[in-house]
Structures are given as structure tokens and as C-alpha cells.
Amino acid sequence: MTTAQPKSLSVGQPSRTLQKTGERVFKWFLIASSMVAVLTTAGIVASLLFESIYFFNEVPLTDFLFGLQWSPQTAMRVDQVGSSGAFGAVPLFTGTLLISAIAMVVAVPIGLFAAIYLAEYAHGSVRNWVKPLLEILAGIPTVVFGFFAALVLAPWLRGAGEAVGFDVSSESALAAGLVMGIMIIPLISSLSDDAINAVPQAMRDGSFGVGATKSETIRNVVLPAALPGIMGGILLAASRAIGETMIVVMAAGLTANLTANPFEAVTTVTVQIVTLLTGDQEFDSAKTLAAFALGLVLFLITLALNVVALNIVKKYREQYE
Amino acid sequence: MNNQSTNSERIQAGLKKRYRAEKRFQYYGIAAIAIAIAFLLIMFAAIGIRGVGAFQQTHIALTVTLDEAHVQDNDWQGIVKASMRNTFPEVTSRRDKKLLYKVMSSGAGFDLQALVKETPSLVGQTKTVWLPSSDDIDMLMKGSIDRTVAEDDRRVSDKEIAWVDQLIDKDAIELQFNKRFFTGGDSREPELAGVLGSIMGSFYSLLVCFLLSFPLGIMAAMYLEEFAPKNKWTDMVEVNINNLAAVPSIVYGLLGMALFLNLFILPRSAPLVGGMVLALMTLPTIIIAARAAMRAVPPSIREAALGIGASPVQTVLHHVLPLALPGMLTGTILGMARALGETAPLLMIGMVAFIVDIPTGIMDSATALPVQIFLWADSPERAFSERTSAAIIVLLVFLITMNLGATLLRKMFERRW
């Protein structure tokens, strides 16, 4: 009796320790997988930073950030004319801002009003139909939007411009910005929708109680209360617009123009990254390194926007929970 | 008293204005939704109208003599040319003959080659076969080239139109289903270009992407949701994942170029690298979706399993994971759909080359379907514009299928606890 008990224990023991080691190894696997996300960020930062440092050894940082001339053709021969290679990125920044601004001008009112209508006015059945339709817009690949902007909308705009005696470039900032605006409508509308729905009903009831109409309630009570969430959505949308690539690669221009005229062609940071890096060239030339410097700027700006936006959205969510 | 009545009058007058403002406000909302949906419909209509033509291709019935001399020389296009000369014996000058040959696709000979390969006994015989015309003739047949425009301003000459009209009279030219579009790789000639090469490139990329991101994503989610201690480090990982989900896709392309191509020296243009970049991109999406799916499994399941003596790992693997799997799969399919439509990072790692051969593995050079759309959209030929739209239709069909699959999956396994 006394001998049987330890024996059965000793039979069970090895398999249990085996199970425990197995589980420990398994957990380490899990930890390792969750590290991949952190490593990705580290990889992005490291690769952008290293190449950018090489670039800034050749081109001073101030020239890059404040220079007004962008023509990344480095000279093949020493005596070649007009090809010293200028890396002043200001025209790219203004071009990006111009197109993003057009996109926001389109997307913010449409997205916000769509969200208000869906959240406050629409019947359940309308909501069930319209929301998925708007989400389709979010699911369409950007290359499709780019095709539409470049081959359908841009010629229309050009034709319309000609009809009223207006000179619209065939690669105008307007076409790219309009289509990009449509693309980010669902982002703004769904985040605004969440924010509006999170406003407690009691606040609306209070406003109705003192005699306000529905639209007055929305404008004076609901929107101010939902504003942080809506702002978060708008910032996320702006970050998306700045980082968007395919629409501008296909519909915006390649030449760096320092202009605020939406009918002219401008180029953007992402367009230049693509043009500098597609095609064959040696990896260490200032031209290719410039793309990484632009990538670094892009990453830092979008990261800042995202961090601020996600924080606002998160804080706001906690406020009413 | 008097004062009060004017007050109520004022309120009455103001009320009308306020009600009008109310109506106007509602109309703004309706207008906003209408604009968004109208744009969606216009875009689909514009692409659909342009693209639907590419599913058909003009074919011409030629009586070809598969004589041994040509077959032995592998001069298949020569057979086509000889047959064209026989069909139009009145064409004699060198220049006209050259023009005549251009009525047929420069790839028409490949069809003959395939035919003879299938039935070698045909050599030496004369047979009538339908062969593809050139893209200009195709555009003429589809009405995209206006016959009334002056000859110098259109891509097809009067002579070619006369020949085509002769063929129309003989019923020897017609639009047939464009099989090549679905079975061919890329080509410089629009009438020979197909999407299969890029579809296979997308398929292999997505395969790599799935094999990497699905297990990694689920394991990471499992750790963060079930095992990770609540501390600063875990918070940081979480914030990091949320931010990664919003990083512009082109930045992933730069990462792929610097890390996979220049540091690891992996082959350019390979679906392997494309899949790896897409996997890094979709990983945050999958982790977020998988965590939500695991959070939806009620704690009572875990408590019951732990209560009857299961270890935490067993609890998660045997009980939480199976219940959360449909939700995880739904999120993964949606992530894959996004990866399928992604173009910019693939441009960075060289999946933008002109590749005729259909890739057969993850190491072959390849493009992806959205990149093919980008490449064709750049081509000046009218016929390519049509094919670009058709390729977009194919891409959208794939995306709709994937999204429908995800929705069905969600509906089938949806549980209310």
C-alpha cells in the first residue's frame, strides 16, 4: 500500500514535467510572436534612420528641409549642365499638403454629415443599407481610385475647365485630391459615427427638454460632446491622406511645383519615393538615399498624427464609459 | 399683455425659421450620403463600361495551310502571313502587304503552334481557324475607333477598314470570348496580354503572407490577451501594434527594400519578398481582430476549464482558441483582402517588372494583380485602357468573394453568449 502510492506518482511525474516544459516553450513562442510587431517598428525606424543618415552626410539637413528646389538628377558627368541634383523638399511638402487639404475639404463635410444623418436621423433599415455601402468605398484598392482619378476624372476636369476657359492640367492636384477625399470618407464617417453614438442619450433629452429642435441639439450639444472623437477621426484621415501613394502616383504629377493652385500639377512625398526607387539604380546614390529621407519624414509625420489621434479617441472613449 | 403677444409672434416667426433650418440640416446629411454613393456608382459604372469589352476579342477566320516547310522552321507567323496573302490576292505592293500582316495579331502564330502540338496530324493539311486580330482592328470592331475621323487622325488606315469590311461581308470576323485574357501572362501586345500571370503572382504572395501572418498573428494575440501580465511593457506593445496598423503602406515597402533585399539579399520581384512585406503589413490587423475574437469568448468558459484541472495553456488551446477561431479567420480574410489590393509596397521591392512568364513558385519573378493594373494604366494603347478596367473588374470580383466569404463565416459561426 505504502509502496503503491509513490509508484503511481512517479509514473505521473515525468509526463507532467514534460507537459510543463512544453507549456513553457509554447509560451516563449507566443512571446516571440508578439515581439515581431515590436521588431517591425524597430526595423522601420532603423532602416529609415540609417539610410537617412547616409543621405544627410551628402546633403545637409537644412537644405533638405528648407530648400525650394527639387531635382534629384545627380550628374552622370562632372560637366553636365543643370544636373547638380537639388534636394530641397519644400515643394514636395507643399504638394502633399495641397492634395491632402483638397481631400480633407471633400471628406470632412461629407463624412461628418453622413455620420450625423446615419446616427441621428436614419431609420434602422436605411442605416443597415447605407453603412455597408460606405464601407465598400473603404475596401476598394487605392490603385482603382488612382485609375479612376487619372483616366476618368482628370480628363473630365480638363474638359470642364476648357469649356469655361480655364486651364486645368491633366495631372492636376484637384483630380487626385477629390478622389482621395472620397476614399477617406468612410474613415471619417465611421469614427464620427462611433463618437456620436457614444454621447449619452440624457444629454440629448436635456436639450430637447428646453425646447431645442433636433438639429439645434446636434449642433449645440451632441457635436461639441463628440468633438474629441471626431477630431481623432479627422487626424487619422489626414494621416491616411498624407501617406496615400497609388492615387497620387497615378493622378498627380512628377515635377516639383511650388504652387497653391489646385489646377496645376504638383508632386508629393510618396510620388517621389516611388519614382526614386522604381527602376534600376545603385543603392548608395544620393537619389535612392533621398527616398529614405523622405520616407523618414513621412513616417514621423504620420506617426505623430496617429499617436495624437489614437490618444484622443481612447481618452474620449473612457470619458463616457 | 401687448408685450407678450409680440413675444409669441416673434417666437412663431422664429419657429418657422428654426424648422426650415432643421429641414436644411437633414438635407445636408442626405446629400452627403448621396454624393458618396453616387461616386461609388459612377466609378463602378465607368470601370464596368470600359472594361466589359475586354472580355471579348476580335477573331478572324483564316484558311491556313500548315505546310511542312513552315512547321519545320517554326515560322508559324509565316503561315498566317501566307494565308492573309491568299485571302487578299489583290494586295501586291510590299507596303500594303506589311499593312495587311498588321491586321492579324503578331501572336496569332502561337495559336497555330498550340493547335499543331495538340494534333500533330494536322501538318500538311489546310484548315480554317479563328485567330486573334491586332488590337487596332479589335478597337475598330468594338467601335472605339471612329471611322468618320480623317484617316491621318486615326490608328487604322482606310485600306485596313476596307479589308475588315470585306471580312465582315464574308462573316469571317467576329468578337469571341477572350480566353487569352484569363490564361495569358503580360505582353506588350494588348490582344495577347492576360491577367493569369499577375493573379498567380498575387496568389503566391498572399500564400506567403498568410502562412507567416496567420500563425504569428494568432500567437501574438493569444499572448497579449491571455498570458501577458498587465504592465508598462505590454501597454507599449499594444500601442505599438495600434500605431503599426496606421503606418502608410509605402513605408513597409521601404522596410522591405532595405531589410529583405539589401540586407538579406533575397531575390527582387519574388512573391516571397512581396508576401513577407504584406505579412508585416497585415500582422497588426490580424492581431487586433484575433484579440477581439478571444475577448468575445466569455470568462466562464475559461473558469470551467481551469476548474476541472486544465492548465492555462490547455484552457486556451482546447477551449478559447476553437471558439475564437471563426472570428480570427474572418479578421484574417479581411486582412488578406486588403493585402490583395495593396500596390505601393510591391512597387518598392521590384514586383513591377514586365514579366511574360506565368510564375510557378514563390521564388519566380512576378507581378501582382494591382501592380498589373498600375502598369497597364500607364500604357498608351487604347486596348490596354480597356484591359486595365477588365483587370480591375477581376480584382474587385476577388475582393467581393473574399469579403462575402468573411461575412458568411461570421454569420455561420456567430454566437451570442
Contact list, A176 vs chain B (CB under 8 Å): none
Is there a contact between A243 and A265 (Cβ–Cβ < 8 Å)? no
For residue A72, what pLDDT band results from cuts at 50, 70 and 90?
A: confident
Q: What integer pLDDT is reported at residue A92 of this predicted model?
A: 93
Angle, CA B392 vertex, CA B249 and CA B180 arms, to 5°: 125
**Residues sharing a CB contact under 8 Å with residue A296, sequence separation 6 or more, in sequence order:** A48, A49, A52
pLDDT at residue B119 is higher than 60: yes
Nearest residue to B368 (alpha-carbon basis) of B351, B349, B350? B351
Domain ranges of chain B: 2-52, 55-182, 196-413
Query: Cell for B136?
Result: 487596332
For range B18-29, the mean pLDDT: 93
Give the rounded percent of residues in chain A with a pLDDT score beyond 70: 88
Rounded Cα distance, B11 and B5, in Å: 10
Interface contact flag, A151 B388, Cβ < 8 Å: yes
The residues spanned by each domain of chain A are 4-58, 86-320
B326: cell is 471563426
* Residues written for chain A: 321
Q: Is A227 on the interface with B (CB under 8 A)?
A: no
Determine the Cα–Cα distance for residues A257 and A20; give it in Å rounded to an integer. Answer: 65
Per-residue pLDDT of A207-241, as tens digits, reads 999 999 999 999 999 999 999 989 999 999 999 99
- Calpha distance B164→A202 (Å, rounded): 75
Give the confidence band of B200 by pLDDT, cuts at 50, 70, 90. very high
Please answer yes or no on whether B47 and A144 come within 8 Å at the CB atom: yes
Q: Is the pLDDT of residue A245 over 90?
A: yes
Q: Which among B22, B283, B347 is the nearest to A37, CB-wise? A: B283
Name which of B254, B276, B340 to mutate to probe chain A: the one with the most chain A Cβ atoms within 10 A of its Cβ: B254
Closest CA–CA distance from residue A176 to any residue of chain B (Å): 14
pLDDT > 70? residue A65: yes
Instruction: Pick A245's closest partner by Cβ from B37, B344, B396.
Output: B344
Torsional sign, CA A19, A22, A28, A33? negative
Q: What are the pLDDT digits (tens) for B352-383?
A: 888 888 999 899 999 999 999 999 998 888 88
**What are the start-end ranges of the H helices in A59-89?**
61-66
Mutate to test the interface with A, among B241, B255, B386 (most CBs of A within 10 A): B255
CB contact under 8 A, B385 and A216: no
Average pLDDT, chain B: 90
Fold of the B196-413 domain: MetI-like fold (1.10.3720)
Which residue of B17, B39, B291 to mutate against A (max A Cβ within 10 Å)?
A: B39
pLDDT at B277: 96
Question: What percent of chain B clears pLDDT 70, i.e. is strictly above it?
Answer: 99
In B, which residues are within 8 Å of A48 by CB distance?
A: 251, 254-255, 258
> What confidence score (pLDDT) does residue A4 get?
45
Which of A33, A189, A283 is facing B223, going by the closest CB pair?
A33
pLDDT at residue A2 tops 50: no
Chain A residues 129-158 within an 8 A CB cutoff of chain B: 130, 133-134, 136-137, 139-148, 150-152
The four Cα atoms B65, B71, B72, B76 give a dihedral, to 10 degrees, of: 120
User: Distance (Å, rounded) from C-alpha A20 to C-alpha A111?
Assistant: 53
- A113 to chain B, any CB pair closer than 8 A? The answer is yes
How high is the pLDDT of residue B322? Answer: 93
79-108 of A, contacting B, C-beta below 8 A: none
Superfamily of chain region A86-320: MetI-like (1.10.3720.10)
> Which residues have C-beta within 8 Å of that of residue B78, sequence separation ≥ 6?
B70, B109
Burial (CB count within 10 angstroms: exposed 0-12, middle 13-18, buried 19+), residue A258: middle
pLDDT tens digits for range B297-338? 999 999 999 999 999 999 999 999 999 999 999 999 999 999
Q: Note whether A36 and B216 are within 8 A (CB).
A: yes
What is the Cα–Cα distance from A123 to B33, expressed in whole angstroms? 14
In order of A113, A190, A199, A220, the CA distances from A316 in angstroms are 20, 15, 10, 18
Each residue of B378-413: pLDDT tens digit?
Answer: 888 888 989 999 999 999 999 999 999 998 988 888
A76 band by pLDDT with thresholds 50, 70 and 90: low
What confidence category does residue A10 fall into, taking pLDDT thresholds of 50, 70 and 90? very low
Judged by average pLDDT, the poorest of A82-86, A124-128, B385-389 is: A82-86
Cell output for A221:
450639444
pTM reported for the whole predicted model = 0.90
Find the CB nearest A110 among B36, B246, B311.
Answer: B36
Please tell me the distance in Å from A44's CA to the nearest CA on chain B.
5
**Is the per-residue pLDDT at A74 higher than 70?**
no
Which of A26, A43, A111 is the closest to B255 by Cβ?
Answer: A43
Contact B220/B244 with Cβ under 8 angstroms?
A: no
The beta-strand segments (E) located in B124-241 are 126-132, 173-177
Which of A41, A110, A292 has the CB atom closest to B240's CB atom?
A: A41
Q: pLDDT grade, residue A8 (50/70/90)?
A: very low
Closest CA to A242 of A163, A321, A297: A297
Asked if the Cβ–Cβ distance from B254 to A43 is below 8 Å, we say: no
Give the pLDDT confidence score for residue A71 in this predicted structure: 81
3-state SS assignment for residue B161 = helix
pLDDT mean across residues, chain A: 86
Count of residues making up chain B: 417
* d(C-alpha A291, C-alpha B315), whole Å: 49
